[in-house]
């Protein structure tokens, strides 16, 4: 079956702009989580959605937001980009109680 | 501050040697997962351990979950260059499904 698909793979944005990243989970998986990975901080949890509802949220500013659609696809948005937002953004889908399957990520560079 | 502390941070060994990676926390987790990540890709789930004291073997990899469900270890026997990668442990919270990652251990196996 198809894995978790994240688009785009690479993105370059300018400070102050906003960006939207997309994630299509494995068919049947209703939970989608987002993570930010940087060399200094490692993998940091952003938020998790289940059946279109945000169930958990990490410690990120309000500039980071997300949503999930009825087909379980999810998007995350970052507004007013800062240089420090440069990172690999990973999406993972899961069946509750089982392991998470990650996408290949979106590499965001803010210049 | 990471909820899960991994050690060592880096490990470089010769092909054929054994290695152990540790993952410790003061928190209790409902389950603990180990992932391996290669550059430019998302983490790939290796194993999920659920019961305190549980030991799981996956070919040359042995995973152990501590009795108190606060710590875990990954042991690789007769390491091969293909084992090279970033190994991440992650705990699933007892009260929510949030996945918290350790900082990771970079393993390099030299041929």
Per-residue pLDDT reduced to its tens digit, B32-91: 999 999 988 999 999 999 999 999 999 999 999 999 989 999 999 999 999 999 999 999
Contacts for A91 with CB less than 8 Å, ≥ 6 apart: A4, A6, A21, A23, A25, A32, A33, A34, A35, A74, A76, A102, A103, A105
pLDDT at A1: 57
Note whether A41 and A98 are within 8 A (CB): no
Q: How far apart are CA A26 and CA A5, in angstroms?
A: 8
DSSP letter at B102 equals B
Q: Decide if B45 and A100 are in contact by the 8 Å CB cutoff.
A: yes
Q: Decide if B98 and A48 are in contact by the 8 Å CB cutoff.
A: yes
For residue B31, the chain A residue with the least C-alpha distance is A97
Is it the case that residue A98 has pLDDT exceeding 70? no
For residue B98, the chain A residue with the least C-alpha distance is A56
Cis status of the peptide bond prior to B8, with omega within 30 of 0: yes
pLDDT at B40: 86
Q: Which of B35, B44, B97 sits opposite A48 (nearest CB)?
A: B97
Task: Identify the residue among A43, A58, A97 best suited for mutation to test binding to B, counting B beta carbons within 10 A and taking the highest.
Answer: A43
Is it the case that residue A21 has pLDDT exceeding 60? yes
- B104 vs A: CB within 8 A: yes
Is it the case that residue B26 has pLDDT exceeding 70? yes
- B58 vs A: CB within 8 A: no
């Amino acid at each position: 079956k198809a894995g978790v698909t994240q688009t785009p793979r690479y993105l370059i944005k300018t400070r102050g702009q906003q960006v939207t990243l997309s994630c299509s989970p494995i068919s049947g998986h209703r939970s989608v989580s987002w993570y930010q990975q940087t060399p200094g901080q490692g993998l940091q949890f952003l938020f998790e959605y289940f059946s279109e509802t945000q169930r958990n949220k990490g410690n990120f500013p309000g500039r980071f937001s997300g949503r999930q659609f009825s087909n379980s696809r999810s998007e995350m948005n970052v507004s007013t980009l800062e240089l420090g937002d440069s990172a690999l953004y990973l999406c993972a889908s899961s069946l509750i109680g089982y392991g998470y399957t990650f996408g290949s990520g979106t590499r965001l560079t803010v210049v | 501050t990471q909820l899960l502390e991994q050690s060592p941070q880096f490990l470089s060994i010769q092909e054929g040697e054994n290695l152990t990676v540790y993952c410790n926390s003061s928190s209790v987790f409902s389950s603990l997962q180990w992932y391996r990540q290669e550059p430019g890709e998302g983490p790939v789930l290796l194993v999920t351990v659920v019961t305190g004291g549980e030991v799981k073997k996956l070919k040359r990899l042995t995973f152990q979950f501590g009795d108190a469900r606060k710590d875990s270890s990954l042991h690789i026997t007769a390491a091969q260059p293909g084992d090279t990668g970033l190994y991440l442990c992650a705990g699933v919270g007892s009260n929510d499904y949030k996945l918290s990652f350790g900082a990771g251990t970079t393993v390099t196996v030299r041929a």
